[in-house]
Chains A and B, each alone.
Chain A
């Protein structure tokens, strides 16, 4: 099917919306509410175009293509309409771009620039709104909200959490949890996908800058930083790299220059997690324990499970997440070895995630009266700090992380992609069951961006079913099956964010599916090129067991590395 756009011929597919054909044809029409992979709502009207034979302007996102249709995307009328829309949005928007965390990365600001808005055309009273700082991870500033509805949709359609929705009508419409309560008492699971969806600064992460700077300045504190597997393959984007470039080496260098005393890799703790989790799996399989075993690395998922599936909590692995495990080891055995009091060790995590801020705050994730982790910075926050200190990742030479917790297998690195925890666990479970390595360690069926991936894998003579699911709506569907008695699965990995941590709520904003795929591929490439692809062959993990923890599942391991869950009733 052919259509004519701006006097040129474009190919279109029957049944698709005009916007899809325009994008494929390289015609740029701005949008504010369109979401990749979801049905159009036609709410923002930014994508209006002129179609010959129709009376008014039509929203191209929700207008099906017709053979031979003639379209003008940038007629004077269309451009003027878009500009007016932006001017009307700005009429109820604070003029504080200079102080906004989305300055220079704001879709509204970009559109105002593109459309040549140079003055405040509409004067009028602004709707007052209240800042919601109640959540440990997500800050809501409804003053900056343009009511595009993307956060509402991602929360409902992708995550099936529905913590927020439109409240009220007309000029009083705003986005809020039910009864306008704070996010902290809503069903919000802190995943931060709404932050990625937000075109403006209405949703941002709760910053831990000050805690980190204060600790670095404090001479008594030994400030230790760990960075998560998914951070090194995304932070480069904030310094101009294309998606999917691994910058682990310069990341280590930058963290040292910022003043951290030790730079460690959370992937080490991922290997440690696998030792504990694979041990737990094999125990459960052998002893008729509760199956399927469900992973517990993702704090947004754990929060969701405590709230929505309290009956399935016995399925969850009792393992803490890697960030918490490393924090607990740092504040116990590492502190002792370094001759520092555990309370003087300050642990900072660099995470692709906002829910990690929530997790670090939980009373159940402490040991011996100390928080495992003291402060969590998202990928975005770290990039901001690096720039603030006048550093640029492009100008630095790569450095290695510190020993002993810098050593990692590429299995631990895979934690950053959906299916990666499962793949790492399968590799080690195979060794635990058979005493031999797998012939081919790659498990292709559980790689990639699909929301639900299933496979049957052989651990010697034992065949088990496994599944990796990402996006909480997908997880909900699978959990409903488990609740109904589905019994062919031995392990389920759940990641709250679609695609896993590479697409986490703390990652660079503005990534499309191709970018997420490239980030995933970067992790797979690291694994392909790695000489050490299994967690149980990480010699420094082995040494930690030999010298301090005993063996996987030991009493000391349980004391430091495991936790418990309890049903949590969200108020609304």
Chain B
């Protein structure tokens, strides 16, 4: 049963990720990038970061195709655009998973052991921050502080906060989301 699920999600990812049917979403995303670029006619390299931000807003992440399109629009080499984009934490290069896991690495959470929590999540999901699991279920993101220091160490899954997370509790939390999808 689980294998079948994985295969289905792999297909969805190739078509641009997310939960919509095959084909449809890819075409729509393309139109949105063109729309973003059309808002910046004749832009120079100083417009690079605002454009990347708008593309990410429209698309959810920066795909290879969109980076190349932005590069062409600004007459910059794709290597340069990719270099700038990877310099900043705010840009991601894989579509978000069904569940986006944010791990707070702010000062209070750090003191309360958030590094071990992050390690546990990386180990269980087998992804690095900024990446998405192959089945498209979870994406992992490190954030500086989500303003819940009293609950440290804290993680948020699609905006739902989990307080006082110990590394050994991580598996149970993630499993509860897996079960939700299966149900």
List A residues at the B interface (Cβ < 8 Å): 156, 161-169, 177-179, 186-187, 572
Q: In whole angstroms, how far apart are the Cα atoms of A166 and B79 in the complex?
A: 8
CB pair B87–A178 under 8 Å, yes or no, is no
Within 8 Å of chain A (Cβ to Cβ): is B126?
Answer: no
Q: In whole angstroms, how far apart are the Cα atoms of A163 and B83 in the complex?
A: 11
Chain B residues with CB under 8 Å of A162's CB are 77, 79-80
A-B contact count (CB 8 A): 46
CB pair A572–B78 under 8 Å, yes or no, is yes
CB pair A164–B79 under 8 Å, yes or no, is yes
Chain B residues with CB under 8 Å of A163's CB are 77, 79
Within 8 Å of chain A (Cβ to Cβ): is B161?
Answer: no
Chain A residues with CB under 8 Å of B80's CB are 156, 162, 165
Within 8 Å of chain A (Cβ to Cβ): is B177?
Answer: no
Within 8 Å of chain A (Cβ to Cβ): is B68?
Answer: yes
CB pair A169–B79 under 8 Å, yes or no, is no
CB pair B64–A187 under 8 Å, yes or no, is no
Per DSSP, chain A at the interface is: loop
Chain A residues with CB under 8 Å of B82's CB are 165, 167, 178-179, 572
The one of B64, B78, B83, B88 that contacts A166, using a Cβ cutoff of 8 Å: B83
Within 8 Å of chain A (Cβ to Cβ): is B103?
Answer: no
Chain A residues with CB under 8 Å of B93's CB are 179
Contact with A along B49-72 (1 / 0, CB 8 A): 000000000000000100110000
The one of A167, A177, A187 that contacts B86, using a Cβ cutoff of 8 Å: A167
Within 8 Å of chain A (Cβ to Cβ): is B81?
Answer: yes
CB pair A169–B67 under 8 Å, yes or no, is no
Q: In whole angstroms, how far apart are the Cα atoms of A165 and B76 in the complex?
A: 12
How distant is A231 from chain B, measured CB to nearest CB, in Å?
Answer: 32
A179-B87 contact, Cβ under 8 Å, with A164-B79, A572-B78: no
Contacting A at CB under 8 A, from B10-65, are 64
How distant is A43 from chain B, measured CB to nearest CB, in Å?
Answer: 15
A168-B77 contact, Cβ under 8 Å, with A179-B64, A572-B68: no
Top 3 nearest A-B pairs (CB, nearest first) are A162-B77, A178-B82, A165-B83
Chain B residues with CB under 8 Å of A168's CB are 86-87
Chain B residues with CB under 8 Å of A165's CB are 77, 79-80, 82-83
Identify the closest chain A residue to B128 (Cβ).
Answer: A172
Chain A residues with CB under 8 Å of B64's CB are 179, 572
Q: List 15 A-B contacts (CB under 8 A).
A: A156-B80, A163-B77, A165-B80, A169-B86, A178-B67, A178-B77, A178-B78, A178-B79, A178-B83, A179-B64, A179-B78, A572-B64, A572-B68, A572-B79, A572-B82
Chain B residues with CB under 8 Å of A156's CB are 77, 80
How distant is A94 from chain B, measured CB to nearest CB, in Å?
Answer: 23
Chain A residues with CB under 8 Å of B78's CB are 178-179, 187, 572
